[in-house]
Amino acid sequence: MKLFNNHDKHPHLERLLNNSKSVSLGSDTRILILSDLHMGNGGRRDEFRRNAELVEGVLENYYLSEKYNLILNGDVEELFKFPLNDIVDTWRDIYELFLRFNENGFFYKTFGNHDASLQDEKEYILAPFLLESLKLLYGQESVLVFHGHQASVFLWETYPIVSRSIVWFLRYIAKPFGIRNFSIAYNSRRRFAIEKSIYDFSNQSKIVSVIGHTHRPLFESLSKVDYLRYRIEELCRAFPAAEAKEKKKIRNKISTLREELDACFRKGKQIGLRSGVYNNLTIPSVFNSGCAIGKRGITALEIDHEKIRLVYWYNGKQSRKFLSDRDSRPMQLPGTGYYRIVLNEDHLDYVFSRLHLLA
């Protein structure tokens, strides 16, 4: 019986790893990774419109001035529903802002399933910077940045008529009747299968993968629900040996974490989130920047001076608590109503050490 090797199981991901353009990370390199903007024509069915000012504001007033490089990791345009010319005409100022990041060092854009047709658009404003994937070299280690739909490429390559039918449906039926943005990523089972496939490939290849596509932020392969469970378990283990004063703090923190976890389940976030699917010890091989079309704000990944962090930006004050082992107090961007919170952060040395020890 033939045994499957890594190449047999993940040929498309293997191709990305072998053929990606490479960029070296220096000790002072700063990169913003943003995905899934789904930019439209500015009308009421344009999901990007809600956060457009927020995205433009933080790019221009924070990341550009702080000398970040920029990677847009796929599904920047919503070509399933809108013609490219309409999108570019509506958001031309933001496109010009994207291009300014090249002055900081580099700017790249990968394509996702919703903007894959841009490969054939020679006059596309971002064409010189368009890639399928990008490999960030950290010493001898690799961070592979790609949208993530390649893990479920079967539907799109084997049945192109299905892809064309979906585009037709979204443009001429879903759009007029107000049906939400449709993607294979919204199917919770397929979303999970995509993440699991990329997780397995990354562990076998001893690399870190940074994706988008599913709209679900992941830090070190953990979703928010996974992370809350992990922290509760960690605190429970620390409780018996703690001093009385520290026990009180732990008890209060566990209570707060449980409330947040319960809130996630009440909101339905347990759908598509499986426990114990990865390994008993989660390997930090997959990160996901989330999306820029959230109802309350946007999530993104930052690589900054050899650290990687998941951040959340929102417009205006929020009453809910944000849980983090770091300083979770919102940082206001001066002169704006925009706030930034670091949800999680680790050094890349730790990430790769854990990957090699556990994978």
Distance between CA atoms of residues 113 and 358, nearest Å: 32
Lowest mean pLDDT among 40-49, 160-169, 297-306: 160-169
Q: Is the Cβ–Cβ distance between 240 and 101 less than 8 Å?
A: no
pLDDT of residue 205 exceeding 80, the answer is: yes
Could you read off the pLDDT of 148-197 as tens digits, one per residue? 999 875 544 434 444 455 554 444 454 444 444 545 445 666 777 888 89
- The confidence score (pLDDT) of residue 185 equals 46
Distance between CA atoms of residues 261 and 132, nearest Å: 36
- The confidence score (pLDDT) of residue 13 equals 94
For the chain, the average pLDDT equals 84
Reading the block at residue 5, the tokens are 């090797």
For 57-82, what is the mean pLDDT? 97
The pTM score is 0.81
Could you read off the pLDDT of 75-105 as tens digits, one per residue? 999 999 999 999 999 999 999 999 999 999 9
Give residue 267's Cα distance to chain centre: 21
Domains of the chain: 6-223+277-358 (3.60.21.10), 226-272 (no CATH)
3-state secondary structure of 65: coil
Distance between CA atoms of residues 17 and 142, nearest Å: 9
pLDDT of residue 304 exceeding 50, the answer is: yes
